[in-house]
Amino acid sequence: MSTTTAPAPTTAPRRAPSAVERVLRARSLGILLALVALVAVTALANDRFLSAQSVRDIVLSTAILAVLAVGQTVVIVTRSIDLSVGSVLGLSAYAAGSLLQSAPGTPVVLAVALGMAVGAVCGVVNAVLVRFGGVPALVVTLGTLYIFRGIAFFWAGGQQINADELPRHFLAFGTADVLGLPVLALIAVAVVVGAGIVLGRYRAGRDLYAIGSNPEAAVLAGIPVGKRLLVAFVTSGALAGLAGVLFAARFGTVDAAAGTGYELNVVAAAVVGGVVVAGGSGTVWGAALGALLLTVIGSALPVLGIDQFWQQAIVGALILLAISTDRVLTARLAAQLRRRSSHGR
């Protein structure tokens, strides 16, 4: 009696990482090394830099910037940009603060919902103008940056909402911990993880990358470009609204100028973290890491006695370096594709 043995199961060979993946990993490693070096140098100069309160302040600031950077990433991968996020943050923060001031018994969840709703409406405005106005997102959101800020100043009328005018449960929300971790940081982590899963595993997320890589091909492939752009801008606006509520909870004092100047840091966090401004590439994980790097830079340089001008110059230099790296990578990938095409003939 003869016996047959089943063939040994074969495993598919692992796909070698692409050039883009290798560069993104190298950039993430570079950011981590820069963080370690910066923290080490600053701690040697002033041991209080690693005190519990200092670390907590860095984590809370990173949380707000990371939430904004996630929304910005969703927009940038579609080959667009949202420069209005700082103004949306200020408008949403003032809206939530006004609600809590007039109705102190309002639950925090409703305040968060209001802030995100205000941000989402701003996102719809941006999306409609970009999609149907035929105007580049850079120009549209630069205009709405001033429009939303003007609305906030008109609403505030030169007044500000102070901490003693906000309910205690809302201020406690801004300082609360769970197992020693700030609630605001846990919210930011949830946003990063959720957005990362959607962008990486779901068709709606992959469509955003396809639109950024080649808008014309995306249309031919049947991707609903208009709907996807709407979702991208609404997501950015809603997350900016969430960041506005977190901002109000953390600082307790809100006025119409809240969030002024955040635009540069948000874009810088995304770009430094590997989100390509030309669209089609980048991750929210990298953007969050970029947010952490910029926050640490902003906290470390004053400790090292470096002038504020140089802080801004370093952020600008990081943006230029990241964009230059992306351009070199794109050129090399294009050359590789041309060589493969020529060999295949």
Residue 223 resides in a domain: yes
- Predicted local distance difference test score (pLDDT) of residue 264: 86
Residue 339 resides in a domain: no
- Predicted local distance difference test score (pLDDT) of residue 64: 96
Task: Give me the mean pLDDT over the 284-306 stretch.
Answer: 89
Decide if pLDDT at 338 tops 70: no
- Predicted local distance difference test score (pLDDT) of residue 11: 47
How far is Cα 317 from Cα 311, in angstroms, rounded to an integer? Answer: 10
- Predicted local distance difference test score (pLDDT) of residue 20: 52
Residue 38 resides in a domain: no
Which residues are bridge partners to 181 per DSSP?
Answer: 178
Residue 214 resides in a domain: yes
Phi, psi torsion values for 157, nearest 5 degrees? 60, 35
Residue 229 resides in a domain: yes
- Predicted local distance difference test score (pLDDT) of residue 345: 58
Mean pLDDT comparison of 180-189, 308-317, 322-331, highest-scoring range: 180-189
- Predicted local distance difference test score (pLDDT) of residue 34: 81
pLDDT band at 97 (very low <50, low <70, confident <90, very high): very high
Q: Total structural domains in the chain?
A: 1
pLDDT tens for 244-274 read 999 999 999 899 899 898 998 999 999 888 8
Domain residues for the domain of 206 are 51-326
Distances (CA, A) of 246 to 183, 201, 229, 249, 323: 10, 28, 26, 5, 30
pLDDT tens for 103-124 read 999 999 999 999 999 999 999 9
**Mean pLDDT for the chain?**
86
Decide if pLDDT at 88 tops 90: yes
On the 0-12 / 13-18 / 19+ scale of CB atoms within 10 A, 268 is buried
Task: Give me the mean pLDDT over the 187-199 stretch.
Answer: 95
Decide if pLDDT at 8 tops 60: no
Decide if pLDDT at 344 tops 60: no
- Predicted local distance difference test score (pLDDT) of residue 273: 87
Residue 226 resides in a domain: yes
Decide if pLDDT at 12 tops 60: no
Residue 28 resides in a domain: no
pLDDT band at 23 (very low <50, low <70, confident <90, very high): low
pLDDT tens for 138-159 read 999 999 999 999 999 999 988 8
Decide if pLDDT at 133 tops 50: yes
CB 135 within 8 A of CB 129: yes
Residue 252 resides in a domain: yes
3-state secondary structure the chain: CCCCCCCCCCCCCCCCCCHHHHHHHHHHHHHHHHHHHHHHHHHHHCHHHHCHHHHHHHHHHHHHHHHHHHHHHHHHCCCCCCCCHHHHHHHHHHHHHHHHHHCCCCCHHHHHHHHHHHHHHHHHHHHHHHHHHCCCHHHHHHHHHHHHHHHHHHHHCCCCECHHHCCHHHHHHHHCEECCEEHHHHHHHHHHHHHHHHHHHCHHHHHHHHHHHCHHHHHHCCCCHHHHHHHHHHHHHHHHHHHHHHHHHHHCCECCCCCCCHHHHHHHHHHHCCCCCCCCCCCHHHHHHHHHHHHHHHHHHHHCCCCHHHHHHHHHHHHHHHHHHHHHHHHHHHHHHHHHHHHCC
CATH number, residue 305: 1.10.3470
Decide if pLDDT at 49 tops 70: yes
Distances (CA, A) of 31 to 158, 214, 251, 313: 41, 29, 28, 18
pTM (global) more than 0.85: yes
